[in-house]
Structure 1
Amino acid sequence: MEQKSVNKTNKNSYTFIFSIVMVIVVGTVLAFAATSLQPRQYENARQEKMQNILATVGIETDRAGAEALYRQHIVEEIVLDSNGDVREGVEAFDVDLAKELKREPLDQNFPLYIAEVDGGTYYILPLRGAGLWNAIFGYISLQDDVNTVKGVVFDHLGETPGLGAEITKEWFRERFTDEKIFDGSGNLVGISVVKGNPSTSKDDNRVDAISGATITTDGVSDMIAERLQHYLPYFESQTDMNVSNN
């Protein structure tokens, strides 16, 4: 009787072994790619951070030129504790605000960048809070009276395009320029993002909100007020203003 030959490639064991080999090969390639790209990704993140810090004081640059301008204009990086005193042994640029916010305020590190541009001194603070879908974050710079805003930069992880994501746009950021963070009585109140705010005054601690993005813009208001409050002890030591904490 004639025996039929069996095609080994049709066996289930062949398919199983082939799948295992492919998983190993693909996994190895992806792991190698991730490891190889990690230094470049880290460097891109560093340069983007420098770009954002510089943008708050009106210096726009590409990634390639960010570090040189950062070294030129950021004259001091310090980390404060909750009392407004300088905390030694911690690098401001390395502080991860997402991790800091998971700690108690008394244990947090508060980075501060001091810039000099065209003869003026500016204090730059990192910000982080909650938007509609995920975290929002950025930087705010203050003039040497530690009251008047020089500029802001905002970003997000998942806000809605055309609505909450508009916080990144220059037209929204420009609304904060020259706004005050202290009210007329010297109380630190931050800047409220208010829907339908018709005022063009720079002394009312308010800017107009983005239509249809109430939760995101409320998050901007909250993160500015919350983060600034932790720097109040330092502000009091740097200014002759009669500030108080209500």
Structure 2
Amino acid sequence: MDRNSNSYTFLFAVILVAVVASALAFAATQLQPAQAKNVKEEKMQNILGTVGISTSRDSAQVLFDKHITQRIALGADGKEKPEVNAFEVDLKKELKKPVEEQSFPLYVADVEGVKYYVVPLRGKGLWDAIWGYVALKDDVNTIKGAVFDHKGETPGLGAEITQEWFRKRFEDEKILDESGNFIGVSVAKGYQGGDNKDDNAVDAISGATITGDGVTDMISERLKNYLPYFKENTNVKVAANL
């Protein structure tokens, strides 16, 4: 075949594309187990982080097994769904379903004899998805800790939800009022409450109003689905006003 012909050039390009595609597919297949392991360990790190346990990925599994005493999947009615593996529930997929068909993962942690309830979160920021975890103390009202992450928020603005100084604003905030009615926690622009932990609000990030609203909505939308379970399975006064 004439190497200067168009047919030779076309054939060479086809073969080259096929070889590169095959190499990339092989590499992706080989890397899948490692990628899945990294995702799993990062998820464990985040869950543990909400209850004050900082760990490397290498130690995440051991500490997760030690401190997470229950992994529960709930229905919208607050009843357990034993057929569902809570750890494998993908909130991205669940949020596409009607609420009554969704599964709601819940992790029960024990740290030095103190019980915490860890709830996964997912919502929408300015540009794309935001997500995280929030841990409630055993009064199912007071936040122990929170972790947030995002897919594409603006660096220096909405992306700051991942920073420790922002996460700490949620510590000891309440999600219920004195009557047990669910309020949530608002990320409030121009917040003047200082260190008040009973006003159901934290200070927003300057210049990131839409991302802050996304965090507010995410916390409210996700946590309210756990009220039926908390009402039936704890001694705390929860109005479960859905």
State the TM-score bracket (shorter-chain normalisation): over 0.9
Contact 2:179 2:237 in 1 (8 A): no
> For residues 6 and 217 of structure 2, what CA distance do their matches in structure 1 show?
60
Q: Distance in 2 between matches of 1:131 and 1:185?
A: 31
Counterpart Cα distance in 1 of 2:87 and 2:206: 34
- From 152, 160, 179, give the equivalent of 1:166: 160
**Rg comparison, structure with higher value:** 1
Give the AA of the match of 1:239: N
Q: Look up the equivalent residue of 2:85 and give its one-letter code.
A: E
Q: 1:80 to 1:39 in 2, by over 3 A?
A: same
Q: Does 1:38 align with 2:32?
A: yes
Residues in 2 aligned to 1:242 and 1:142: alpha-carbon distance in whole angstroms:
14
Distance in structure 2 (CA, Å) of the matches to 1:8 and 1:37:
40
Structure 1: which amino acid aligns with 2:210? Answer: I
Greater than 3 Å deviation, 4+ residue runs: none
Alignment of 1:82 with 2:73, yes or no, is no
Per-residue deviation, 1:183: 1.4
- The 2-side partners of 1:74 and 1:17 are apart by 57
Q: What secondary structure, in the 3-state scheme, does the structure 1 residue paired with 2:48 have? A: helix
Instruction: Select 2:150's aligned residue among 156, 161, 182.
Output: 156
* SS of 2:3 mapped into structure 1: helix
Query: 3-state DSSP class of the match of 1:230?
Result: helix
Matched position secondary structure for 1:13: helix
How far off is 1:178 after superposition?
0.4
User: What is the CA–CA distance in structure 2 between the aligned matches of 1:164 and 1:11, rounded to whole Å?
Assistant: 54
* Structure 2, unaligned runs of 5 or more: none
Residue 237 of structure 2: aligned partner: 241
- After TM superposition, the structure 1 stretch with the greater mean CA deviation from structure 2, 129-138 or 9-18, is 9-18
| C-alpha distance in structure 2 between counterparts of 1:121 and 1:56, whole Å | 12
Cα distance in structure 2, aligned partners of 1:43 and 1:96 = 16
Deviation at 1:186, TM superposition (A): 1.9
What is the aligned length?
240
- RMSD of Structure 2 on Structure 1 (CA): 1.1
* Equivalent-residue separation in structure 2 for 1:117 and 1:89 (angstroms): 27
1:35, 1:242 → 2: CA distance?
A: 48
What's the CA shift string for 1:179-234, capped at 9, x where partnerless?
00001232101100001212111010000000000000000000101111111101
Shift of 1:123: 0.2
Task: Name the residue aligned to 1:99.
Answer: 93
Q: Which residue of 2 aligns with 1:123?
A: 117
**Does structure 2 retain, via aligned residues, the 8 Å contact 1:132–1:216?**
yes
Normalising by structure 1, what TM-score? 0.95
Contact 2:169–2:203 at 8 Å: present in 1 too?
Answer: yes
Alignment check: 8 A CA contact 1:146 1:239 kept: no
Unaligned runs of 5+ in 1: 1-6
How many percent identity over aligned positions?
A: 60
How far apart are residue 239 of structure 1 and its match?
2.7
Query: In 1, are the aligned partners of 2:107 and 2:117 still within 8 Å (CA)?
Result: yes
Question: Is this contact kept in 2: 1:9–1:15, CA < 8 A?
Answer: yes
Say if 2:105 is the partner of 1:111: yes
1:65 matched residue in structure 2: 59
SS in 2 for 1:10: coil
Aligned-pair distance for 1:244?
Answer: 4.6
Give the residue type in structure 1 aligned to 2:101. D
